[in-house]
Structure 1
Amino acid sequence: MRRFQPWFAVLLALLVLGLPLWLVVATAGKSQGEALTPDLSPPSDWQLLANLGQVWTEGRVPAAFLGSLLIVVPTVLIALVVGSMAAWVLARRSSRWTAVCYAFAISGIVLPPAVVTVVLLLRQLGLAGTVTGMIGVYLGIYMSTVIFFVTGFVRTIPTSVEEAARIDGAGPMLVFRRVVLPMLRPVLATVTILVCLYVWNDVFYAFFVVGGRMDTLPLNLFQVASAGLYLNNWHLIFAYVVLMSLPLLAVLAVAQRQLISGITSGAVK
């Protein structure tokens, strides 16, 4: 019976992940008439490329794609750099104040931000409706995730490697950049995937902070789906979802390669 358990797990994973993926791709490749009632049946005539082209030209996708990039890229870079440095310090200190700071730093994982308060604060600072304000909101939300994952990973790294670098005359920044940071590639790849996934697909916070002043891909999809262009055009809506998911798939592919490289080359020698 135990021989069938791995196969059952693989089959269950394929069903859970494969069926929704097939539903999206199949519906995106159908004509308008076939997609009125989305189901798992394949399209009689694949029109996926034509639907993607129509979405790209008529759905204001390039401007929304640029808006998403302007928010996601700085958010991920700042969160990784600042979060990993803070996590390294918190992991290497063992005082009571460090424990308090660590608890405060990861509290954002379980404590949701007050949206109304955040919006009012951004208005007082003159950052409401701006890219800077949106990046600040995301950093405040997801910095806790970076610190939580990286801190746990740093604690598994022996301190002897850092001590050897300090004996050779390296300062704290040099130790972090030359010794610690290369070893963090596996966990940084994981955190990159998580933060990109959260920020790229976010509608809730973007709607209240930059909604109406700047387009991101999820906001643009919400707007055009609520208007007349995509009304009952499920083939275009699902084509938009496919188009919006392609950058995330590219990030996942790159991060997976970095994850494997980090595991094999980032070990203590």
Structure 2
Amino acid sequence: MRRTQLRRWIVGAVAIAVSVLVFLVPFAFILITASKTTQGASLLGFSLPDKWVLWDNIVTVLSDRNGLLVRAFVNSIVLTVASVTIMVVLSAMVGYILSRRQSRWNGVITFFVLAGLIVPPAVVPTIWVLQRLGLFKTLPGLVLIEATFGLSFCILLFRAFVATIPRELDEAAVIDGAGPIRLFFRVVLPLLKPVIVTSIVVQSVAVFNDFANPLYFLPGDQNATVQLTLYNYAGGMAANQYNLLFADILLITIPPLIMYIFFNRQIVAGMTSGAVKG
């Protein structure tokens, strides 16, 4: 009995130590570097700053280039909310149909869903399509891109979770006179809350932190997202402003970190419920 408790204690201590090394140490390095002067940060050393100027660096980053970071936050929030809304609604519908209605097309649809996870996106053809639609260099165009790239993951989550909902609920709702739309939105969708929260949090962080898609499909300062603002301090004449670069990274890191802190239990519940019950 004591050996079992000792093993659990050792495993727990190792897990905590690994978590500290993987998560807390990099965050501490970001915070310390963001608090230094330009000269102190240029050394990239893991040491306390001689002079704490974190607030001054944050103010400089927020006001630099006529408040580019503030505009970027607005663009990123609009992009994230719109993209994740489309993802959740469409993937919930598709996942429900794939789970409830068995047909010869299910295998084909599942193949394309899995292909969306495996096949990498083609940048040049996508730009050509957006140009033909008049959506290149526009926020709505990037919203469609982000929503499309995240659909496959969400569809698989919803499909697995819908399989855990008894079919008798659908039959009872139909007997009471509910049509397909009312059945889905009034009966099924409220039961999908755990996987909805999981999809929202995971995809929101993914879209908010996306760097490549805004770089390719939404160029220009007016359309900049938060990740693209790192270019201000990571290249050219500003390559040695590591204090401002890490202050920018610190501001960008806070929203996803808050989401994971408050919704980590819901994320685990939504990811595992389908696998356990289905």
TM-score for the superposition, normalised by structure 1: 0.89
The question of 1:36 aligning with 2:45 is answered: no
Separation in 2 of the partners of 1:20 and 1:232?
20
Residue number among 221, 224, 230 corresponding to 1:215 in the alignment: 224
**Contact 1:36–1:232 (CA<8 Å) still a contact in 2?**
yes
Q: Count the aligned residue pairs.
A: 262
Separation in 2 of the partners of 1:257 and 1:119?
38
Unaligned 5+ residue runs, structure 2? 1-5, 272-278
Separation in 2 of the partners of 1:184 and 1:45?
51
Query: 1:67 — aligned with what?
Result: 75
SS at match of 2:102: coil
Separation in 1 of the partners of 2:11 and 2:263?
29
Query: 2:201 — aligned with what?
Result: 193
Query: 2:98 — aligned with what?
Result: 90
SS at match of 2:38: coil
SS at match of 2:157: helix
CA RMSD of aligned residues (A): 2.2
1:231 deviates by 2.6
1:57 deviates by 0.8
Q: Assess, with a 3 A threshold, how the Cα gap between structure 1 residues 131 and 17 changes in structure 2: closer, same or farther.
A: same
**Contact 2:83–2:147 (CA<8 Å) still a contact in 1?**
yes
Q: Assess, with a 3 A threshold, how the Cα gap between structure 1 residues 258 and 8 changes in structure 2: closer, same or farther.
A: closer
**Greater helix fraction, Structure 1 or Structure 2:** 2
For 2:47, give the aligned amino acid: S
Separation in 1 of the partners of 2:266 and 2:15?
26
Residue number among 40, 51, 55 corresponding to 1:45 in the alignment: 51
Residue number among 24, 29, 33 corresponding to 1:27 in the alignment: 33
**Identity over aligned residues, as a percent?**
34
Separation in 1 of the partners of 2:217 and 2:197?
28
Please list the CA deviations of residues 138-160 of structure 1 after superposition, one character each: whole Å capped at 9, or x if unmatched. 12211111101111111122222
Query: 2:62 — aligned with what?
Result: 56
The question of 1:131 aligning with 2:139 is answered: yes
Unaligned 5+ residue runs, structure 1? 264-269
The question of 1:232 aligning with 2:218 is answered: no
The question of 1:8 aligning with 2:14 is answered: yes
**Contact 2:42–2:241 (CA<8 Å) still a contact in 1?**
yes
Separation in 2 of the partners of 1:159 and 1:6?
41
Separation in 1 of the partners of 2:218 and 2:264?
32
The question of 1:246 aligning with 2:251 is answered: no
Please list the CA deviations of residues 61-88 of structure 1 after superposition, one character each: whole Å capped at 9, or x if unmatched. 1111122122211101111111111111
Identify the range of structure 1 (39-48 vs 76-85) with the bigger mean alpha-carbon deviation. Answer: 39-48
The question of 1:172 aligning with 2:177 is answered: no
**Contact 2:34–2:54 (CA<8 Å) still a contact in 1?**
yes
SS at match of 1:220: helix
**Contact 2:198–2:266 (CA<8 Å) still a contact in 1?**
no
Q: Assess, with a 3 A threshold, how the Cα gap between structure 1 residues 30 and 253 changes in structure 2: closer, same or farther.
A: same
Q: Assess, with a 3 A threshold, how the Cα gap between structure 1 residues 71 and 168 changes in structure 2: closer, same or farther.
A: same
1:178 deviates by 2.2
1:210 deviates by 1.0
Q: Assess, with a 3 A threshold, how the Cα gap between structure 1 residues 149 and 260 changes in structure 2: closer, same or farther.
A: closer
Separation in 1 of the partners of 2:232 and 2:56?
22
**Contact 1:221–1:240 (CA<8 Å) still a contact in 2?**
yes
TM-score for the superposition, normalised by structure 2: 0.86
Query: 1:204 — aligned with what?
Result: 212
